[in-house]
Chain A
């Protein structure tokens, strides 16, 4: 089966995000006073083939931990869905 993993990588809560802080300031300058905080991350789409969903989850978690994130400062979530051939 072919699957699409939508992977979201963000800095851990304990790690300061200077880009997010700059964007927060910019939004405040535009009078979006409602904005409390902005965190900036990365979004990746990985298309993969797997025998079943269990294997696909294993693959995605493996690639996130080994390459797509740096576990010292980053964390991730993902969504997995079957796609057409």
Chain B
């Protein structure tokens, strides 16, 4: 599986994503600069965490107009897997590849801790190695993770199983609507999440629960590849 990790000026979780891919599925990953115009060679594209363009104006607002984002949209259209983590999630919502928006945390505080999540939908290419309803521990580190979508959009997302992760009840760290921590597009190939699965791929990091995201995509890719 060919993996790309996009690097914007201000990304800071790019190497964590590369190492997580190495560790969880034994594949290598290329770091791809934000000026690259084609991502055709890749099966999985990760938009990592950080503060692209300093989060100026709004988190993700400027990054989403970088050249590489046209390539990301094109590959997403072709059905390639795209995963936005934290700042990457913000870039995907700003760019319209995922519904909703991410606002300042309700507490106004930057929250850096291990969050308890519920896996809501385990029938996606990204979550097939989890069980629906399972509780997992994944770190968060963000000041703007307060997910918002209007009622109509939320209703549609619920109907289509687009809510993938929720913060455990009573443990919502940022005020997001419906305790949402991660969502997927309608087609099921673009995932965005505020928690950092790439920081949870080994018990020594505090949790290994994030590894199954990578093994899930890897198995999805193997299946798709075998059919070709």
Contacts and interface: CB of A to CB of B under 8 A. Distances in A.
Interface string A6-39: 0000010011101100100000000000000000
B100 A72 contact: yes
B58 to A, nearest CB: 6
Contact of A72 (B104, B107, B149): B149
A54 B96 CA distance: 29
Given A67-B65, A73-B101, A18 B106 contact: yes
B165 to A, nearest CB: 20
B226 interface: no
B175 A16 contact: yes
A70 B108 contact: no
A68 interface: yes
Given A70-B61, A70-B94, A19 B148 contact: no
A70 B100 CA distance: 10
Given A67-B61, A68-B57, A18 B101 contact: no
Contacts of B105: 18
Interface residues of B, number: 20
B45 to A, nearest CB: 23
B108 A22 contact: yes
B57 A14 contact: no
A76 B217 CA distance: 41
B170 interface: no
A72 B150 CA distance: 8
A15 B104 contact: no
30 contacts: A11-B103, A14-B150, A15-B103, A15-B148, A16-B103, A16-B106, A16-B175, A18-B103, A18-B104, A18-B105, A18-B107, A18-B108, A18-B146, A18-B175, A19-B104, A19-B108, A22-B108, A67-B57, A67-B61, A67-B62, A67-B65, A68-B57, A70-B58, A70-B94, A70-B101, A72-B93, A72-B100, A72-B149, A73-B101, A73-B148
Given A18-B108, A72-B150, 8 more contacts: A11-B103, A16-B106, A16-B175, A18-B146, A68-B57, A70-B94, A70-B101, A73-B101
